[in-house]
Amino acid sequence: MDIRNIAIIAHVDHGKTTLVDVLLRQSGAFRANQTIATCVMDSNDQEKERGITILAKNTSVRWGESKINIIDTPGHADFGGEVERVLRMAEGVLLLVDAYEGPMPQTRFVLRKAMLNKLKPIVVVNKIDRPEARPQEVLNEIYDLFIDLDANDEQLEFPVIYASGREGYARLEPNDGNMDLKPLFEAILKHIPPPKGDPAAPLQLQCANIDYNDYVGRIAIGRIENGGIRVGQPVSLIKRLGGKVQGKVEQLFTFENLKRTPAESAPCGEIVAIAGLPDVDIGDTISDRENPVGLPPIVVDEPTLSMMFSVNTSPLSGKEGKFLTVRHLRDRLMKELKSNVALRVEDTAEPRIFKVSGRGLLHPRVVRRQGHGTRRPAPRHRPLHGHPPRPHAL
Ligand code: GDP
């Protein structure tokens, strides 16, 4: 199978969701009369509410015989550890920039990581239908940004696509009159290299992300670096911090359009989700049982901010919110830990209070909103940002 793995980098509101939606439609994933609920990637309520994409997710589109896996990247540097990990699954990046607003500071961090990882970029100057669009100036700003980020010569020669996700077209020149996304699909297939692995080599896959559900437990997500994988395959799990655990692939999934779909097997280069390895963690290598060789470790960034969480003891307690007892709060926090790897939860000397650490300001809030516990605002360190950064042009 011909595979491309691309990460998509965009500032909030620059049109990522709309573009992915229309890529899906034009790839034939949906019947013409079928309506997709808006916001395909931002399906999480919290993300909709805050307008920030927090969890990295996978989508795929087909173009001809090729499969393009689209990896969402977190829109904020607070999720640094996650950025590093999800970029490891990609060979290229789509940098999506609003043709009026230009590149925004928040995308710098992710783009810099992509440059360091030697990913091949494609620049999409989006929303060129906007009356106030200034695509040429914005392109110059993007060049300046790449130079600033020490892009190498090859990266600086990035292909440019002008697009309107909303109108569903992509163009090689802003006014060439093309009215579909074909140039974007073709640019991805032409400029983003296929995954490099050796299909004949023994299996190696590094776990880049963890998901969790109550039925199958921990689910490892990653790109097959070498070899292939199939259901029932005996594997060795090589722990990032040393040690080996024997296991078996109980269930295998690939990403088809918006869904995770069960598969019997998957080839080298494909991004898969694997259930059946309860001990799996970020950075571990899932390898061939007979040839257990670990991949170079990946760093999980240390937390930079701590907050204290406690149950609500005020007279109004019980009037609103779901989690009323210490046990509820603890269970909720521990559940979050299972899939949120850059988060840390610790007991404190006070049994009603838990210490939750994460990166920056946004991360621990993930739990707070969902948990409805009362937060004691007692940060140990100053947050990196006093408030969520306001967008302003570079
Ligand atoms: P995301 O936050 O990057 O996922 O951005 P969305 O896809 O949610 O789009 C943000 C806003 O920009 C929405 O109001 C869209 O309707 C609008 N939008 C998206 N794409 C285009 C486009 O190509 N042209 C114009 N004019 N507006 C767009």
Q: List the domain boundaries for the chain.
A: 2-191, 204-288, 302-393
Task: Decide: 165 and 18 in contact? Cβ < 8 Å.
Answer: yes
pLDDT at 25: 87
Distance 21 CA to ligand 1 centre (A): 11
- Check pocket membership of 14 for ligand 1, CB cut-off 6 A: yes
Domains 2-191 and 302-393 agree in fold: no
User: What is the atom index within ligand 1 of the atom nearest the CA of 21?
Assistant: 7
Q: Is the CB of 254 under 6 A from ligand 1?
A: no
CATH class of 302-393: alpha beta
pLDDT for residue 80: 57
Given the candidates 3.90.1300.10, 3.50.50.100, 3.40.640.10, 3.40.50.300, the CATH classification of the domain at 2-191 is: 3.40.50.300
Q: How far is the CA of 177 from the centre of ligand 1 (A)?
A: 21
User: Is 18 near ligand 1, meaning CB less than 6 Å away?
Assistant: yes
Q: How far is CA 98 from CA 16, 39, 42, 139, 142, in A?
A: 10, 18, 18, 10, 11
pLDDT score recorded for residue 382: 38
User: Is any ligand 1 atom within 6 A of the Cβ of residue 73?
Assistant: no
Task: Name the pTM for this structure.
Answer: 0.77
> pLDDT value at position 41?
52
Residue nearest atom 18 of ligand 1, based on CA coordinates = 15
Could you count the other beta carbons within 10 Å of the beta carbon of residue 190? 10
The atom number, within ligand 1, closest to the CA of 11 reads 3
Q: Return the SS3 of 203.
A: coil
Nearest CA to ligand 1 atom 15: 15
Contact predicate 174/162, CB 8 Å: yes
Residue 28 amino acid letter: G
Q: Does the beta carbon of 129 lie inside 6 Å of ligand 1?
A: yes
Q: How far is the CA of 7 from the centre of ligand 1 (A)?
A: 18
- How many angstroms is it from 70 CA to the middle of ligand 1? 18
User: Hey, what CATH class is 204-288 in?
Assistant: mainly beta
CB 81 within 8 A of CB 299: yes
Residue 49: predicted pLDDT: 44
pLDDT for 77: 57
pLDDT in tens, 227-271: 999 999 999 999 988 899 999 999 999 998 888 899 999 999 999
CA torsion 48-49-52-54 (nearest 10°) is -80
Cα of 12 to ligand 1 centre, how many Å? 9
| Ligand 1, atom 25: closest residue by C-alpha | 127
Which residues does the chain have with pLDDT short of 70? 29-56, 75-80, 299-305, 312-324, 339-342, 359-394
> 3-state DSSP call for residue 85?
helix
- Please, where are the H alpha helices in 310-361? 326-339
Predicted local distance difference test score (pLDDT) of residue 369: 44
Question: Is the CB of 99 inside a 6 Å radius of any atom of ligand 1?
Answer: no
Instruction: Count Cβ atoms within 10 A of the Cβ of residue 36 and give its class: 0-12 exposed, 13-18 middle, 19 or more buried.
Output: middle
